[in-house]
Amino acid sequence: MSKLHSHYFACIFIPYRRVICGPNTIDVPVIPIWKLLIKEVLNPFYVFQLFSVCLWFAEDYMEYAAAIIIMSLLSISLTVYDLRQQSVKLQRLVESHNNIMVTVCRNKEGIQELESHHLVPGDMMVLKEGKALLPCDAILISGQCIVNESMLTGESIPVTKTQLPYADNLKPWRMHCAEDYKKHVLFCGTEVIQTKGDDRGVVKAVVLQTGFNTAKGDLVRSILYPKPMNFKLYRDALRFLMCLIALATIGMIYTVCVFALNGEEAGEVVKKALDVVTIAVPPALPAALTTGIIYTQRRLKKKGIFCISPQRINMCGQLNLICFDKTGTLTEDGLDLWGLLPSEGNCFQDVHRFPTDHNLPWGQVFRAMVTCHSLIVLEGKIQGDPLDVKMFEATNWVIDDSSEHQNEGQRSTHTTFVRPGPKANSASVEGIAILHQFPFSSALQRMSVIAQETGGEKQVFTKGAPETVATLCRAETVPPNFESKLLFYTAQGFRVIGVACKSLQVEKQSTDLTREEVESDLTFLGLLIMENRLKRETKPVLEELSAAHIRSVMVTGDNIQTAVTVARNAGMISPTNRVILVEANKIPGSFSASVTWKPLEENKTEDYGILDSVSQTGRRISLAVESGQFHFAMSGKSYQIVAQHFSNLLPKLLLNSTVFARMSPSQKASLVEDFQKLDYFVGMCGDGANDCGALKVAHAGISLSEQEASVASPFTSRTPSIACVPELIREGRAALVTSFCMFKYMALYSTIQYLGVLLLYWQLNSFGNYQFLFQDLAITTVIGMTMSFTEAYPKLVPYRPPSQLISPPLLLSVILNILFSLGMQIFGFIMVQKQSWYSKTDIYSACLSVNSHMKNTSSVSSLGLPGVTDGGPTEMDNGYKSYENTTVWLLSTINCLIIALVFSKGKPFRQPIYTNYVFVLVLVGQLGVCLFLVFADIDDLYSKMDLVCTPTTWRISIVMMLAVTLAVSFLVEEAIIENRTLWLLLKTTFQYRSKSHYKRLQRMLEQDSAWPPLNKTFFSDSVAVSVEEDMGCHSNPTFDSSEDAL
C-alpha cells in the first residue's frame, strides 16, 4: 500500500494496458434507423401481419389490408422513433464521459493534460479545484473530496471521500466489509463538488477501472441489457396463442374438407384455409396486452410516479409484501435534537432538554457535536447528512469555508475550520480545526474525526450506534446502567447516538493513523437523543395495506428498540401482539453459532415508570399466546448468522419477521431475495440511500426522491411519501385486470368471427370485405383503444387479482361465452332457414317491394363463390349476400359489443364502467350504428355491406336473440365467474391448497406445537438447551388472507 502512495506509472506499460483494458470510453453508438427498422419488421408479430396482409390482398380485401398497413407503419414508426430517442439520450448521457480533459502525472513525461479516453488503470490523476465529472473509477491517495453520487444512488446528499490510509506493505489493509473501500474510491460519472489538498495542496487519485468496467459503465450495461422479467401473464399468453393456433388448425382442416368436397379450385381452397388462421389468431392481440400498461404509465406520471420499467407495472398488482426503510421513508427526514444525556466518570447525569432557542453547555460533548460530522458549505448553505445538520445547527457554530492549512509537524494539511457563530455561547476557544475524517461506515455503524483546538492538543471524537461506541470505550467510563438507559429512550422511538472521545498522544501525522489506532480506548461522553417523527401519511398508508392483507416489513439501519417502537406507533405491530427478539451469535473459537428466542419485553426494567412492569409484560405475552399473533425482530448481524448457520430456520423466521434493524445495504438486498424465494411478490420502498441494491432486486422498487427518475429503481416518486405505494398497487391491479380483459375480449372477438365464417363456409359463403372491415376496424380496434381508459378503484381489497391467464375462472368465462356465441349463431343460422319467406336462390323473397329495383345490382363476388341450390352448387351473381350471411353477421357483430360490455370489469380492482365516459360513448355509438344496420332498409347501404332485406319480425327476433345472450352472459359472469364466495367454496370442497412456498410453510407451522421455541437456544450442531417450558402453537394470521387470489 505504501507503494501505491509513492507510485508513478511507468510509460512503457501504457500501450500494453491500453490493449488489455481498451480505451477509457463508454461507447454507446446511436443505432442507425435502418437497423432499427429491420429489427422491428422481423418481429414475429409483424411477420404474421405481413403474411395476413399478403393473403388479404390476394383475396381483394384491400381496405382492411391498407388499414393494417397504415397502423403497422405508424406503430413501427413510433417504436423506431422511441428506440432512436432512447439511443440518442443514452449516447448523450455517456458522450461527455469520453471527452473530459484530465491532468495526469507520469514518471518520465511529468504532469500533462490529456483527454480522458487515453487513461489506463494505474495512471495517477491530479484533481484540480472546482466542480468536475469523473471519467473513471479512481482510488484517492492524497487529499479529500466531496462528491455528489446522486447518479448512482438517487440521493443528492454530498459524500466525503478520504484518502487511502498509509500502511506498511507487510501489514495488510483491514477492511471491515466490502463497502469500506468505497469511502476511498471516486466513481465514474459522479460529480466532484470540492477538493481539499494535502500538505502541498494536491489531490491525487490512481485510476482503478476504465470504460465499461467502471460504476457508470455497469449502470449503462444494466440499461442496455436489463434483467429479464419472468411473469406468468406473458408465458400463459403464449400458451393461449398455441390454443388459438390449434383451433385455427381444426378450422383449416374443416375448410379444406368442405371446399374440396364441393369441387372448389385448389388455389381458392388454400386461400380460404389460410384465411381461417388470420381470423382465429388476431394480429392485434400482442398490442392489446400492452395497451393497459401504456395508459397506466401515463396515469402514474400524472400522479408524480415515474416508471422506467413498464413491464413491472403488472407485477405491482401482485405485491403482497412491502419492505420499508425507516428514516426518511416512514419517518421525517429531519431530526430534532430532543436532549442530551451526559456521562461523567461512569455515571449518567441529568438529562438536558433543549428547545430551539436554548444553547448547549460547553464541554467535550459540545466539542464532539461541532466536529464529528462530514458537513460542507456549498453555495453558502450547510449540506450533508440530515442528522449531522441538525446536530451542528443546535450548537450555533458555523463552518468556515475558506481554505485553511493546519501545520502538523513538518507538513501541513487542508482542514475544515469551525468557530462560534453570532448566536453561540461564549467559548474559551477561537475555533476548532478538523484535521482528518474517518467517514461513517454502515458496516461499522460509526464515524470519527481528529480535531485540534487553536493552540491545543489533538483529540479524537467518535459518534455512532450507542452499542458500537460503548464497545470502543474503556469499560470504566461506561455507566453500568447504560443498556437500561438506552432501552428507555429507544423504546419511546427516539434516535439515540453514542458519543466518545480521547486525547491523541502520538507523533504520527493524522493522515497516517489507522482507524483501529484512533477508535480505541475511548472515553464515553454520553448520549445524544434525537427525535424522529412519523410522517403524517405513514400510519394511514400502513393501515390501508394491512386491511388489504399486504404485509409490511421494516428494514432499517437503526437501533432495534427504536425500530420496534416506530413499528408499533406506525401500526405494523398491533398493541396486543408480542414481539420476539431473535438473537444469533457466533460461538468464540468455534465454527458453530447459536440462536435464541426471547420476548423483547423481557429487556425492559422496572426502573422507569414509562415501561411496563414484569407482571404486566407477562400478562400481555399470555394474551398474545392465546391470540396466536407474534412478530419476530432481529438485527442484521443475527440475520446474517441465521442465513449462514441456520438456513433451514430462515424461511420460518421470515414468515413472521416484521422488524429488521442494523441492516447493511447488502443485507437489505439479500433479505428481499430471501422473501422472493418464499414466493412472495416483494416491493421495496426507500429513500434512495443505502437501498439501491434492494430496490433493484425487488419485484417493484419504489424510490422516494426529489429527482424525476432514479436509475436505481424501476419506480420513482417525486413526492417523498409512502402514499405512492398503495397508489402504485392500485394502478398495478387495474393494469393487470385490464390486460386480462383485453386478452379475453380479443380472444372472444376472433373466435366469434371464426365461428361465423365456418358456419357460412358450410354453404360455401363467407363475410363480405366491408363486413370484415366493420368488425375489425370500426368495432374491435376502437374498443381496444378505449377499454383501457377505466381507472383504478380507490380502495384496496384484501385479495389480489389472478396472476395466471390459464386459470379456472378465466378459462370457464372464455369457454362459456364461446358456447353462448356458438349456440346463438347456430340457432340463428338454422332458424332463418325455417322461415316461410326464406329462399336459397332468391335473396329478395322476404322483401318483394324492393325486388324490382334491387335486381341485378348485387356486387360480384371477388372470389367467385358458387351458390347452393337444391340440386347442388350453381353459379349465382349475389356475391356474399344471403339470409344466412345477414343473420350471422349481425349476430356476431353485436355479440362483439356484448362481450366488450360483459368483460369490462369494474369493482373491486377498477372503477365502474360508467366512469369510463369515452368507452361508454363508443359502445353506445357502435350499438346505435349496428341497430341502424339491423332496422334500416337503405338499398345502397345494404348493397355495400352485402346485407339483404328481411322482414321486421325477423329483425326483432335477431335483437331478442342478442338480448337473451347478453342476459345469460352477464348473469353467468356475475353469478359464477366473478362469484368469489363460490370459488372459495369449491376450493374448500375439493381441498385445493395454494402451492406458494410461504403458504405451505405456514400450514406446516400451524401444526407444529413447538413453534416458536420461546426462551430456547439452538446451536448450529442441532443441540437445544431449554430455558423455560415450551410454548404452544402460534401462527400469525394478521396479513394472511384465507385463500390465494382467484
Supply the residues annotated as catalytic.
325
**DSSP-derived secondary structure for 279-322:** HHS-TTHHHHHHHHHHHHHHHHHHTTEEES-GGGHHHHTT--EE
List Cβ neighbours of 959 (8 Å cut-off, separation of 6 or more): 931, 934
Phi, psi dihedral angles at 203 (to 5 degrees): -115, 120
Cell of 1017: 437456544
List Cβ neighbours of 389 (8 Å cut-off, separation of 6 or more): 375, 382, 383
Displacement of CA 121 from its chain's centroid (Å): 36
Displacement of CA 893 from its chain's centroid (Å): 41
Cell of 15: 500501450
Cell of 21: 483494458
Contact present, 441 and 179 (Cβ < 8 Å): yes
Contact present, 468 and 498 (Cβ < 8 Å): yes
The closest alpha carbon to 888, from 827, 951, 963, belongs to 827
The closest alpha carbon to 142, from 4, 40, 25, belongs to 4
Facing residues of 437 across strands?
449
List Cβ neighbours of 1030 (8 Å cut-off, separation of 6 or more): 1009, 1010, 1013, 1014, 1016
d(CA 883, CA 52): 28
d(CA 833, CA 857): 24
d(CA 884, CA 757): 11
Cell of 572: 405494523
The closest alpha carbon to 914, from 750, 791, 737, belongs to 791
d(CA 308, CA 409): 54
Contact present, 798 and 547 (Cβ < 8 Å): yes
CA dihedral 902, 906, 908, 909 (to 10 degrees): 110
The overall longest dimension of the chain from CA atoms, in Å, is: 122
Cell of 874: 350453381
Q: Starting from the edge strand earliest in sequence, which strands make up the sheet with 124-127, in order?
A: 110-115, 101-106, 124-127, 203-209, 137-142, 185-186
Rg of the chain taking only CA atoms, in angstroms:
37
List Cβ neighbours of 987 (8 Å cut-off, separation of 6 or more): 1043
d(CA 209, CA 409): 35
Phi, psi dihedral angles at 232 (to 5 degrees): -60, -30
> Helix, strand, coil % (nearest 5) of the chain?
45, 20, 35
d(CA 563, CA 323): 13
Which phi-psi region, left, alpha or beta, contains residue 384 (left: φ > 0; alpha: ψ -120 to 50)?
Answer: left
What single-letter amino acid sits at 297? Q
d(CA 394, CA 388): 10
**DSSP-derived secondary structure for 312-355:** GHHHHTT--EEEE-STTTTB-S--EEEEEEEEETTEE-PPEE--
